[in-house]
Structure 1
Amino acid sequence: MKKALRVILILVVAIIAIGVVGLFFLTRGLKSGSKVEISSINPSSLDDGIYKGSYSAGRWSNELAVTMKGGKIQEIKIIKDMDIAPPEISNEIFSRVIKLQNTNVDAVSGATVTSKAYLKSIETALTK
Protein backbone atom coordinates (compact mmCIF):
# COMPACT_ATOMS: atom_id res chain seq x y z
CA MET A 1 0.00 0.00 0.00
CA LYS A 2 2.83 2.42 0.88
CA LYS A 3 4.54 1.67 -2.41
CA ALA A 4 1.37 2.47 -4.37
CA LEU A 5 0.96 5.79 -2.51
CA ARG A 6 4.58 6.66 -3.22
CA VAL A 7 4.10 5.98 -6.94
CA ILE A 8 0.91 8.08 -6.99
CA LEU A 9 2.69 10.93 -5.18
CA ILE A 10 5.57 10.81 -7.68
CA LEU A 11 3.10 10.91 -10.58
CA VAL A 12 1.22 13.86 -9.10
CA VAL A 13 4.46 15.79 -8.55
CA ALA A 14 5.58 15.00 -12.11
CA ILE A 15 2.26 16.19 -13.56
CA ILE A 16 2.44 19.42 -11.57
CA ALA A 17 6.05 19.99 -12.67
CA ILE A 18 5.13 19.42 -16.32
CA GLY A 19 2.21 21.85 -15.95
CA VAL A 20 4.42 24.56 -14.43
CA VAL A 21 7.07 24.14 -17.14
CA GLY A 22 4.37 24.17 -19.83
CA LEU A 23 2.78 27.33 -18.44
CA PHE A 24 6.18 29.02 -18.29
CA PHE A 25 6.86 28.03 -21.91
CA LEU A 26 3.49 29.27 -23.15
CA THR A 27 3.66 32.64 -21.41
CA ARG A 28 7.37 33.53 -21.62
CA GLY A 29 7.60 36.74 -23.66
CA LEU A 30 3.84 37.41 -23.59
CA LYS A 31 3.99 40.60 -21.51
CA SER A 32 6.87 42.15 -23.44
CA GLY A 33 5.37 41.02 -26.76
CA SER A 34 2.06 42.73 -26.07
CA LYS A 35 3.92 46.03 -25.55
CA VAL A 36 6.08 45.87 -28.69
CA GLU A 37 5.86 49.05 -30.75
CA ILE A 38 5.95 48.63 -34.52
CA SER A 39 7.37 51.49 -36.55
CA SER A 40 6.18 52.36 -40.01
CA ILE A 41 8.55 51.53 -42.86
CA ASN A 42 9.30 53.05 -46.28
CA PRO A 43 10.20 50.20 -48.63
CA SER A 44 10.38 52.45 -51.73
CA SER A 45 13.86 53.62 -50.73
CA LEU A 46 15.33 50.11 -50.47
CA ASP A 47 17.43 48.32 -53.07
CA ASP A 48 16.28 45.06 -54.61
CA GLY A 49 17.30 42.04 -52.58
CA ILE A 50 16.44 39.82 -49.67
CA TYR A 51 16.47 41.40 -46.23
CA LYS A 52 16.49 39.28 -43.09
CA GLY A 53 15.04 40.30 -39.77
CA SER A 54 14.20 38.65 -36.50
CA TYR A 55 12.39 39.09 -33.21
CA SER A 56 13.22 37.23 -30.02
CA ALA A 57 10.84 36.88 -27.08
CA GLY A 58 10.10 33.42 -25.76
CA ARG A 59 7.94 31.28 -28.00
CA TRP A 60 7.28 34.29 -30.25
CA SER A 61 10.85 34.32 -31.57
CA ASN A 62 11.05 34.16 -35.36
CA GLU A 63 13.23 35.03 -38.34
CA LEU A 64 11.95 36.20 -41.71
CA ALA A 65 13.28 36.99 -45.19
CA VAL A 66 11.67 39.93 -46.99
CA THR A 67 12.16 40.12 -50.75
CA MET A 68 12.27 43.62 -52.24
CA LYS A 69 11.97 44.38 -55.93
CA GLY A 70 11.38 47.75 -57.57
CA GLY A 71 10.93 49.47 -54.21
CA LYS A 72 8.13 47.12 -53.18
CA ILE A 73 7.82 44.22 -50.80
CA GLN A 74 7.26 41.22 -53.08
CA GLU A 75 7.39 38.30 -50.69
CA ILE A 76 7.86 37.44 -47.02
CA LYS A 77 9.15 34.00 -46.09
CA ILE A 78 9.64 32.37 -42.74
CA ILE A 79 13.20 31.21 -42.08
CA LYS A 80 12.61 30.15 -38.49
CA ASP A 81 9.06 30.16 -37.24
CA MET A 82 7.87 30.66 -33.70
CA ASP A 83 6.54 27.78 -31.65
CA ILE A 84 2.81 27.13 -31.88
CA ALA A 85 2.12 29.51 -34.77
CA PRO A 86 -0.82 28.66 -37.01
CA PRO A 87 0.10 29.42 -40.65
CA GLU A 88 -3.16 31.34 -41.12
CA ILE A 89 -1.81 34.12 -38.90
CA SER A 90 1.48 34.56 -40.75
CA ASN A 91 -0.29 34.35 -44.11
CA GLU A 92 -2.76 37.06 -43.09
CA ILE A 93 -0.12 39.40 -41.64
CA PHE A 94 2.17 38.96 -44.66
CA SER A 95 -0.74 39.62 -47.06
CA ARG A 96 -1.64 42.82 -45.22
CA VAL A 97 1.95 44.08 -45.23
CA ILE A 98 2.42 43.31 -48.93
CA LYS A 99 -0.91 44.91 -49.84
CA LEU A 100 -0.24 48.12 -47.88
CA GLN A 101 3.57 48.06 -48.33
CA ASN A 102 3.90 48.92 -44.66
CA THR A 103 4.10 47.35 -41.20
CA ASN A 104 1.40 49.73 -40.00
CA VAL A 105 -1.35 47.09 -40.27
CA ASP A 106 -3.90 45.70 -37.83
CA ALA A 107 -2.99 42.61 -35.84
CA VAL A 108 -4.93 39.44 -36.50
CA SER A 109 -7.78 39.24 -34.00
CA GLY A 110 -6.93 36.87 -31.16
CA ALA A 111 -3.26 36.75 -32.15
CA THR A 112 -1.95 40.18 -31.23
CA VAL A 113 1.43 39.10 -29.85
CA THR A 114 2.01 36.68 -32.72
CA SER A 115 1.12 39.41 -35.22
CA LYS A 116 3.43 41.91 -33.54
CA ALA A 117 6.28 39.38 -33.49
CA TYR A 118 6.04 38.92 -37.27
CA LEU A 119 5.66 42.65 -37.85
CA LYS A 120 8.71 43.43 -35.71
CA SER A 121 10.80 40.96 -37.73
CA ILE A 122 9.68 42.64 -40.96
CA GLU A 123 10.48 46.05 -39.49
CA THR A 124 13.96 44.98 -38.38
CA ALA A 125 14.64 43.43 -41.78
CA LEU A 126 13.82 46.62 -43.62
CA THR A 127 15.30 49.19 -41.22
CA LYS A 128 18.71 47.81 -40.29
Structure 2
Amino acid sequence: MKKKWKRNLLLVCLTVILVGLIGSGAALLYTEKERREARNVEIDQVNFNKLHAGEYTGEYAGGMYKWRANKVLVTVTAHKVTAIQLLEHAENQPAASADELFGRVIQAQSLQVDSISGATLTSKAYLKAIENALHKSVEM
Protein backbone atom coordinates (compact mmCIF):
# COMPACT_ATOMS: atom_id res chain seq x y z
CA MET A 1 0.00 0.00 0.00
CA LYS A 2 2.81 2.39 0.92
CA LYS A 3 4.66 1.75 -2.38
CA LYS A 4 1.52 2.46 -4.41
CA TRP A 5 1.06 5.82 -2.64
CA LYS A 6 4.68 6.84 -3.32
CA ARG A 7 4.40 5.76 -6.96
CA ASN A 8 1.17 7.78 -7.42
CA LEU A 9 2.79 10.82 -5.79
CA LEU A 10 5.78 10.48 -8.11
CA LEU A 11 3.49 10.24 -11.15
CA VAL A 12 1.56 13.34 -10.08
CA CYS A 13 4.81 15.30 -9.56
CA LEU A 14 6.20 14.22 -12.92
CA THR A 15 2.92 15.12 -14.63
CA VAL A 16 2.91 18.59 -13.05
CA ILE A 17 6.53 19.17 -14.11
CA LEU A 18 5.83 17.96 -17.65
CA VAL A 19 2.76 20.19 -18.01
CA GLY A 20 4.78 23.14 -16.70
CA LEU A 21 7.59 22.53 -19.20
CA ILE A 22 5.17 22.21 -22.10
CA GLY A 23 3.35 25.38 -21.05
CA SER A 24 6.61 27.32 -20.73
CA GLY A 25 7.75 26.16 -24.14
CA ALA A 26 4.44 27.15 -25.72
CA ALA A 27 4.62 30.60 -24.10
CA LEU A 28 8.14 31.16 -25.41
CA LEU A 29 7.08 30.18 -28.93
CA TYR A 30 4.00 32.41 -28.73
CA THR A 31 6.03 35.47 -27.68
CA GLU A 32 9.11 34.93 -29.85
CA LYS A 33 7.84 37.06 -32.75
CA GLU A 34 7.17 39.99 -30.38
CA ARG A 35 10.61 39.67 -28.77
CA ARG A 36 12.33 39.39 -32.18
CA GLU A 37 10.48 42.49 -33.39
CA ALA A 38 11.54 44.41 -30.27
CA ARG A 39 15.19 43.33 -30.65
CA ASN A 40 15.18 44.62 -34.24
CA VAL A 41 13.90 48.12 -33.44
CA GLU A 42 16.49 50.51 -34.84
CA ILE A 43 17.25 53.76 -33.07
CA ASP A 44 18.15 56.46 -35.62
CA GLN A 45 20.83 59.07 -35.11
CA VAL A 46 19.43 62.46 -34.12
CA ASN A 47 21.58 65.58 -34.44
CA PHE A 48 21.11 67.12 -31.00
CA ASN A 49 22.72 70.38 -32.22
CA LYS A 50 19.68 70.97 -34.45
CA LEU A 51 17.09 70.60 -31.68
CA HIS A 52 14.73 73.52 -31.12
CA ALA A 53 13.66 74.55 -27.63
CA GLY A 54 10.30 73.30 -26.43
CA GLU A 55 8.44 70.30 -25.10
CA TYR A 56 7.76 67.42 -27.45
CA THR A 57 5.81 64.21 -27.04
CA GLY A 58 6.88 61.00 -28.68
CA GLU A 59 5.19 57.64 -28.81
CA TYR A 60 6.14 54.11 -29.68
CA ALA A 61 3.32 51.68 -30.50
CA GLY A 62 5.04 48.80 -28.73
CA GLY A 63 5.15 46.05 -31.31
CA MET A 64 2.56 43.53 -32.44
CA TYR A 65 1.12 42.90 -28.96
CA LYS A 66 1.61 46.51 -27.73
CA TRP A 67 3.51 45.22 -24.66
CA ARG A 68 6.08 47.98 -24.83
CA ALA A 69 3.83 50.86 -25.92
CA ASN A 70 4.87 54.11 -24.29
CA LYS A 71 4.65 57.87 -24.52
CA VAL A 72 7.28 60.37 -23.35
CA LEU A 73 7.58 64.11 -22.93
CA VAL A 74 10.99 65.47 -23.88
CA THR A 75 12.08 68.98 -22.88
CA VAL A 76 14.70 70.71 -25.04
CA THR A 77 16.49 73.87 -23.92
CA ALA A 78 19.32 75.55 -25.88
CA HIS A 79 19.81 72.56 -28.22
CA LYS A 80 20.04 70.12 -25.29
CA VAL A 81 17.65 67.56 -23.91
CA THR A 82 17.13 68.70 -20.34
CA ALA A 83 14.31 66.43 -19.16
CA ILE A 84 12.46 63.29 -20.20
CA GLN A 85 9.25 62.22 -18.54
CA LEU A 86 7.44 58.92 -19.04
CA LEU A 87 3.76 59.80 -19.57
CA GLU A 88 2.33 56.37 -20.40
CA HIS A 89 3.68 52.85 -20.58
CA ALA A 90 2.37 49.33 -20.91
CA GLU A 91 5.32 47.62 -19.21
CA ASN A 92 5.44 46.75 -15.56
CA GLN A 93 9.05 47.92 -15.32
CA PRO A 94 9.89 50.05 -12.29
CA ALA A 95 10.10 53.78 -13.02
CA ALA A 96 13.69 53.73 -11.75
CA SER A 97 14.82 51.81 -14.84
CA ALA A 98 13.19 54.38 -17.15
CA ASP A 99 14.66 57.23 -15.11
CA GLU A 100 18.11 55.66 -15.32
CA LEU A 101 17.84 55.31 -19.11
CA PHE A 102 16.57 58.88 -19.47
CA GLY A 103 19.49 60.09 -17.36
CA ARG A 104 21.89 58.35 -19.72
CA VAL A 105 20.33 60.09 -22.73
CA ILE A 106 20.51 63.49 -21.01
CA GLN A 107 24.11 62.89 -19.89
CA ALA A 108 25.31 61.71 -23.32
CA GLN A 109 23.05 64.03 -25.35
CA SER A 110 22.58 61.03 -27.62
CA LEU A 111 20.22 58.12 -28.15
CA GLN A 112 23.17 55.79 -28.61
CA VAL A 113 23.36 54.79 -24.94
CA ASP A 114 23.56 51.45 -23.15
CA SER A 115 20.21 49.88 -22.40
CA ILE A 116 19.15 48.98 -18.88
CA SER A 117 20.37 45.52 -17.91
CA GLY A 118 17.43 43.14 -17.75
CA ALA A 119 15.20 45.56 -19.65
CA THR A 120 16.90 45.75 -23.03
CA LEU A 121 13.74 45.47 -25.14
CA THR A 122 11.85 47.97 -23.01
CA SER A 123 14.84 50.34 -23.16
CA LYS A 124 14.74 50.22 -26.96
CA ALA A 125 11.02 51.02 -26.89
CA TYR A 126 11.62 54.07 -24.66
CA LEU A 127 14.50 55.23 -26.87
CA LYS A 128 12.26 54.93 -29.95
CA ALA A 129 9.62 57.14 -28.31
CA ILE A 130 12.31 59.70 -27.41
CA GLU A 131 13.59 59.57 -30.98
CA ASN A 132 10.08 60.23 -32.30
CA ALA A 133 9.77 63.26 -30.01
CA LEU A 134 13.17 64.63 -31.05
CA HIS A 135 12.32 64.30 -34.75
CA LYS A 136 9.51 66.80 -34.08
CA SER A 137 12.04 69.18 -32.52
CA VAL A 138 14.38 69.00 -35.51
CA GLU A 139 11.56 69.48 -38.07
CA MET A 140 10.38 72.78 -36.65
TM band (smaller chain) = 0.7 to 0.9
Query: Residue in 1 aligned with 2:42?
Result: 37
After TM superposition, the score normalised by the length of structure 2 is 0.69
User: In the alignment, which of 61, 79, 99 is matched to residue 91 of structure 1?
Assistant: 99
Amino acid at match of 1:87: A
Counterparts of 2:113 and 2:81, CA distance in 1: 14
Q: Which runs of structure 2 are paired with 1:7-18 in the superposition (5 Å)?
A: none
Please list the CA deviations of residues 104-128 of structure 1 after superposition, one character each: whole Å capped at 9, or x if unmatched.
0011111110100000001111114
Query: Residue in 1 aligned with 2:54?
Result: 49
Counterparts of 1:83 and 1:106, CA distance in 2: 19
Confirm or deny that 1:103 pairs with 2:103: no
Q: CA RMSD in A?
A: 2.2
- For this pair of structures, how many residues does the alignment match? 108
Larger radius of gyration: 2
- Helix, strand or coil: the match of 1:105? coil
Counterparts of 1:74 and 1:65, CA distance in 2: 11
Matched-pair identity in % = 38
- How big is the shift at 1:47? 1.4
Counterparts of 1:79 and 1:124, CA distance in 2: 14
| Runs of 4+ residues deviating >6 angstroms | none
- Could you tell me whether the CA contact under 8 Å between 2:91 and 2:122 is conserved in 1? no
> Where in structure 1 are there 5+ consecutive unaligned residues?
1-18
Counterparts of 1:91 and 1:71, CA distance in 2: 21
Amino acid at match of 2:73: A
Query: Residue in 1 aligned with 2:19?
Result: none
Confirm or deny that 1:113 pairs with 2:118: no
